[in-house]
Amino acid sequence: MNGKGEPKGEPVRAVERAFAVMESFSLDEPRLTLVEISEKISLPMSTTLRMLTTLVTMGALKRYDDRTYSLGDRIYLLGAVARAHYKPSLIIQPHMQRLRDEAGEAVSLYGIEGEDRVCYEHVPSLLTMRCVVRVGDRFQLWAGASGKLLLAYAPEEVVTRELKKLIPITSATIVDKDKFLAELSDIRARDYAISHGEREDGIISIAVPILGQNGEAVYALSLAGPALRFTEERAIAIVPEVQKICVEMANQLFGRS
C-alpha cells in the first residue's frame, strides 16, 4: 500500500497469465488445444488447465467436444462494447471511408503491438481486384509502407531489433541494412512511405503517420492497391490529401490545437 492507503500499481500475475491465454488465439488460430496453449504461454499443462477451466466457467473461453478451446461469448460482447467507444475508430473510420471513396483503394490503420504491426481498422476497396486485410492481422514491421513508416519514427532500439530480421519476402524486399536505414531517413524527411511489392508482389502502398504529442507515429494510415491500377503516380498524388487528413485526426485524437 502507498501513503494514501492505495495499492501499488504492480502487475497481478494471474491477470497477466489470463491475458496471455486469450492472446494466444488469433484469426489464423481461432481454436487451440490445451497442449498448444500451454506451449504458447510457456506454462505447465496442469497450471494451464486450471486457468482454462476458470476462464471457461466465466464465459471468457469456450470448450468444444474435441477438447479444443476458443474465445468465448463474453469476450465477444466485451469487444462490442469496447469497439463502440474506441475513440480512434470513432474519429478515424469516417475519414478512412472518405479516402476509400475518393481513391477507390483499400484503406488500413496500423499500429505497433509487440514486435508486429497490427491492423486496427480496415475499409476494403469496392473494386473487384483488391487488397484483402483483416482487423487483427499481424505483419512484419520491416516490410511494406506501413511497417517502414512506423519504424521510421520508432526508438533506435526497436529499429536495431528489426534490422536483425531482414529477409526477402519478395524480390523487392529491402534486406540491405544500410539501404534500409537510408529508407527510414527518407521517410522521416518526406513524411510518408511507399512500397513497391515489398511484402506482396504487384501491390503498391503508401502510408502516412498519425503523430502523437511527442512526435511519435502512433498509427500509420495506409492506402494499397494493385500496381496495374494504383500506380506510383496515383499513389504519390494522393499523399498531400492523406497528410492533411492525418494532421486533422491527430488533432482530434491527441488534443492538439
Tens digit of pLDDT at every position of the chain (257 positions) = 444 454 556 678 889 999 999 999 988 899 999 999 999 999 999 999 999 999 999 999 999 999 999 999 999 888 888 877 777 778 899 999 999 999 999 999 999 998 999 999 999 998 888 788 888 899 999 999 999 999 999 999 999 999 999 999 999 999 999 999 999 999 999 999 999 999 999 999 999 999 998 889 999 999 999 999 999 999 999 999 999 999 999 999 887 54
Taking the CA of residue 82 as centre, how many other CA atoms within 13 Å lie in the half-sphere pointing to its CB?
7
Delimiting residues of CATH 3.30.450.40 domain(s) in the chain: 86-254
Q: Which of the listed CATH numbers 3.20.20.70, 1.10.3720.10, 1.10.10.10, 2.30.30.220 matches domain 13-78? A: 1.10.10.10
Distance CA 194, CA 49 (A): 46
Contact call for residues 142 and 106 (beta carbons, < 8 A): no
Helix/strand/coil percentages in the chain, nearest 5:
45, 20, 35
Query: Is domain 86-254 classified as CATH 3.30.565.10?
Result: no
What are residue 34's phi and psi, to 5 degrees?
A: -55, -45
CB atoms closer than 10 angstroms to residue 123: 21
CA distance 206 to 68: 40
CA angle 256, 121, 77 (to 5 degrees): 105
This prediction has a pTM of 0.78
Q: Which one-letter DSSP state was computed for residue 165?
A: T
Cite the residue boundaries of each domain of the chain with CATH code 1.10.10.10. Answer: 13-78
Name every residue whose Cβ is closer than 8 Å to that of residue 4 and which is 6 or more positions away in sequence. none
Residue 187 · residue 115 · CB < 8 Å:
no
